[in-house]
Amino acid sequence: MSGLTRRQFISVMLSASGALVVGLRSADAAVTPQVPMDLLGEPLTSLGAFVRVERNNRVVIGARGCEIGQGVITSLPMLIAEELDADWNRVRVEQLPYGYEVGPDGPTNRYGPQGAGGSTSVTDGWKDLRQAGAVARWLLVEAAAQHWQLPHERLDTEAGHVVHPDGTRLPYAELVERAAGILPPAEPVPLKKPAQFRVIGKPAKTVDARAIVTGRATFGIDSYLGGALVAVMKRCPHLDGSVESVDDAETRKVAGVREVFVIDGPVPGSSFDTNLAAGVAVVADNTWAALKGRNALKVNWKPGPWVEESAAKLEAQAAEALKGDGTVVRSDGDMAAARKAAKRTLEARYQVPFLAHATMEPPHALIKLEPDRALFIGALQNPDGASSVIADLTGLPREKIEIRMTRAGGGFGRRLENDYVAEAVMIAKKAGKPIKLFWTRDDDLTHDFYRPYGLHQLSATLDRKNQVTGFAHLCAATSMNYRIARKKERPPGAGCLEADDFPAGLVPNLDKRFFSLESGLPRGPWRAPLHTFHAFAVQSFIDEIAVETKQDAVDLRLKLLGEARELDYSGHGGPKFDTSRLAAVLTRCADAIEWKRKRTDGHGVGIACHFTFGGYAAHAFEVSVDGRDLRIHRAICVVDVGRVVNPLGVDAMMVGGTIDGISTALNLAITLKDGQVQQSSFGDYPVGRMAQMPNEVEVIVLPSENEPSGAGEIGIPSVAPALANAIYAATTVRVRKLPILPELGRRL
């Protein structure tokens, strides 16, 4: 939104019902807004909005972000409510649609950033959403100043009222008409000091919690349009395979089945710009008929070029690749000289598998195509990408594509890709009807953008005092850039090996290199993508160094972090990494788990810490192993995410991240055989059971005056290494291959 004046940036208008509406804008006022009637009441004659002050003095605030369970439908409106001085108990929140529009200066989004990825929603909104609230408050105060004929500066606000110096209070609702006629200030309105916060930092329940628990919440998969037909796909199980022949005679006999046709897949080697796989679409009056019709299909598949790919061959390829030179990601000092001078060198290899997203709500899409417009309703993480896909496939201008976003039953990066949107459009074009595309669990697990597979080879050189003098991290992995057009200019190791991650800048000699592996499996971001991928290796290896050199594992980490300072960090979450903040969460976590206390009951304690997307986290676990049964007695999570907007939301994210991390570390892996994914249900992709989880996750959020960082992903990277380190402490069995339980069973 650069290049805008303050007057262009802030949109102020009055609806026919007398509601003051304030929002971000950057386009011509002639553009008709696409804002839900629930939010705006009577139609507006200008652009969309964030805030409405109603006649009964209730405030309605629009939530711009994609709500995938991370809580932005609550936290982002809290930012606006804070500066508006609204009574949070009288605020109603409504989900805003996607805000693409074309103005005098070209395409823009009337609401600002709307995607959900990389834990950026709160950081992106920290200033601009507060400013929207502050401008609304300024206008209301100015209206009151004119009414009372007092200087603006003499008035105050509280809980939806403007307050006169004598204590007289005017509700915002009585000021909206006058406020709507006032030109907003040309310069940004000063924002509150933290000491003045009344909403930010206070626990707030999820705004739609009651709707969720009573079944009234509408998720994407619940959406419906009159006349829409249901579609399901039988997709080719072979990577880059195709449809050779189809016998649909029995399918067409199923009552309710309307259409059966082939959908082509992408050309092998081309970008995944639309759908992921070739297949046969069954279009029917209802879900039951569509699924029954799909089951009756007889399809002969033509295997693609990856027919020989398997988990075993990929492991062998990785081991062979590490013998080469690789691509240098970062090189500090002289690692070769450090090896020659070392008193001792330690080495270890760690393996992490492909992972599926396995969201509780599988992908789905509801699309209605008309000659001059389109309507999409569904759960997204990347509405901008969805808009582009629909435009590319239909030829419609993007401003003619309406996207209504719903709550999603999880995302974790899966909905950053819009292949399911593309499928729905392709089917709707052939069917000539509105289409509700439905994916089943087996569709979801066998056709995903999976977290990459990787083999990490780590080594450390030590001097006579067991000081780490050099550190090498070689990573052989399936690049996350594979066939993603928008990522083709990124370095091959992007998303798998970060130049500035721990212990970069903390050891005099450092060698980080990436080795690209060939695989036909689509890859993409998976919750805290880079960090869940390599934190297991790095933090497990630090523990191994401590054990081999008879050092305390916490003390070794603190020694490596060294004095409090900020280091340059070029990756997402930078531009700085603060050693003192990571040391603080580590120390607090160690204290909480009673790290120094000797266990004599067969229990083991493990710890790990990590810097993720601008936030700092540490996990500690106390475990025991009886035979092949692992029990987690205590789970501690300590985080520093800067200033907290909603403490309840952060706690929920940390508990959820920890549980997700445990489940993934213990059980989950996607494997290939003959170029086909082997997992198709929760029977062979077993998410964690309640019996495997700790009774409680103890969350400690360190107070901070730093600006907020994201909380959606920080709670997972340090889980797997802390858990593996605890298992070693209890059993002396070192798990270097995920998932843990199969490996632990093999080793015990």
pLDDT tens for 679-738 read: 999 999 999 999 999 999 999 999 999 999 989 999 999 999 999 999 999 999 999 999
pLDDT band per the 50, 70, 90 thresholds, residue 34: very low
With a cut of 70, say whether residue 44 has pLDDT above it: no
- Residue 536 inside a domain? The answer is yes
Look at residues 73, 10, 8 and name the one whose alpha carbon lies nearest to residue 39: 73
Q: Write out the two tokens for 501.
A: 């991650």
Q: Write out the two tokens for 154.
A: 């003499």
- 30 touches 102 (CB < 8 A): no
pLDDT at position 669 is 98
**Do 502 and 549 share a domain, yes or no?**
yes
- Compute the distance between CA of residue 569 and CA of residue 571 in angstroms, rounded to an integer: 6
With a cut of 80, say whether residue 24 has pLDDT above it: no
With a cut of 80, say whether residue 45 has pLDDT above it: no
Q: Write out the two tokens for 618.
A: 């540490």
- Residue 137 inside a domain? The answer is yes
How do residues 210-265 score in pLDDT, each as one tens digit?
999 999 999 999 999 999 999 999 999 999 999 999 999 999 999 999 999 999 99
- Residue 316 inside a domain? The answer is no
- Bridge partners of 624? 631
How do residues 131-183 score in pLDDT, each as one tens digit?
999 999 999 999 999 999 999 999 999 999 999 999 999 999 899 888 888 88
**Do 505 and 551 share a domain, yes or no?**
yes
- Compute the distance between CA of residue 618 and CA of residue 581 in angstroms, rounded to an integer: 11
- Compute the distance between CA of residue 322 and CA of residue 304 in angstroms, rounded to an integer: 27
pLDDT at position 33 is 38
- Bridge partners of 92? 60
Q: How many CB atoms lie within 10 A of CB 650?
A: 25
- 415 touches 408 (CB < 8 A): yes
Q: How far is CA 676 from CA 1, 157, 238, 448, in A?
A: 44, 62, 5, 12
Domain count of the chain?
A: 3
pTM for this one? 0.92
3-state helix, strand, coil in the chain (%, to 5): 30, 25, 45
- Compute the distance between CA of residue 35 and CA of residue 97 in angstroms, rounded to an integer: 6
- Residue 59 inside a domain? The answer is yes
Q: Which of residues 399, 419, 438 is at a domain's end?
A: 438
Least confident among 15-19, 242-246, 627-631: 15-19
**Do 74 and 116 share a domain, yes or no?**
yes
- Residue 210 inside a domain? The answer is no
- 494 touches 488 (CB < 8 A): no
Least confident among 161-170, 451-460, 481-490, 646-655: 481-490
**Do 429 and 455 share a domain, yes or no?**
no
**Do 332 and 391 share a domain, yes or no?**
no
Structural domain boundaries, residue 145: 6-202
Look at residues 532, 529, 498, 501 and name the one whose alpha carbon lies nearest to residue 717: 532
- Residue 129 inside a domain? The answer is yes
What number is the average pLDDT over the span 424-437?
98
How much of the chain, in percent, has pLDDT values that exceed 90? 87
Residues contacting residue 683 through CB under 8 Å, at least 6 positions apart: none
How do residues 506-548 score in pLDDT, each as one tens digit?
999 999 999 999 999 999 999 999 999 999 999 999 999 999 9
How do residues 480-509 score in pLDDT, each as one tens digit?
999 988 888 888 899 999 999 999 999 999
Least confident among 27-41, 478-492, 598-612, 709-723: 27-41
Is residue 720 classed as helix, strand or coil in its secondary structure?
A: helix
Residues contacting residue 573 through CB under 8 Å, at least 6 positions apart: 611, 612, 613, 614, 615, 709
pLDDT band per the 50, 70, 90 thresholds, residue 11: low
pLDDT band per the 50, 70, 90 thresholds, residue 36: very low
Strand boundaries in 152-263, DSSP class E: 156-158, 161-163, 169-171, 229-235, 242-247, 257-263
Residue 319 φ then ψ, to 5°:
-60, -40
How much of the chain, in percent, has pLDDT values that exceed 70? 93
pLDDT at position 176 is 81
**Do 462 and 428 share a domain, yes or no?**
no
- Compute the distance between CA of residue 562 and CA of residue 745 in angstroms, rounded to an integer: 38
**Do 255 and 291 share a domain, yes or no?**
yes
Q: Which of residues 150, 169, 202 is at a domain's end?
A: 202
**Do 346 and 398 share a domain, yes or no?**
no
Look at residues 85, 61, 89 and name the one whose alpha carbon lies nearest to residue 73: 61
Helix 419-431 to helix 383-394 angle, to the nearest 10 degrees?
30
pLDDT at position 6 is 42
- Bridge partners of 350? 456
| CATH code of the domain covering residue 58 | 3.30.365.10
What number is the average pLDDT over the span 353-372?
97
Q: Write out the two tokens for 11.
A: 């949109």
- 61 touches 174 (CB < 8 A): no
**Do 396 and 453 share a domain, yes or no?**
no
**Do 702 and 558 share a domain, yes or no?**
yes
Q: What's at 653, amino acid-wise?
A: M
pLDDT at position 422 is 98
What number is the average pLDDT over the span 628-633?
94
**Do 370 and 292 share a domain, yes or no?**
yes
Residues in the chain: 748
- Residue 133 inside a domain? The answer is yes
More confident residue, 34 or 91: 91
pLDDT at position 28 is 29
- Compute the distance between CA of residue 636 and CA of residue 654 in angstroms, rounded to an integer: 10
Q: Write out the two tokens for 290.
A: 């569509």
- Residue 214 inside a domain? The answer is no
Q: Write out the two tokens for 358.
A: 């396995």
**Do 547 and 597 share a domain, yes or no?**
yes
Q: Write out the two tokens for 687.
A: 């998410």
Bridge-based pairing state of the strands 604-612 and 161-163: unpaired
Q: Which of residues 202, 231, 263 is at a domain's end?
A: 202
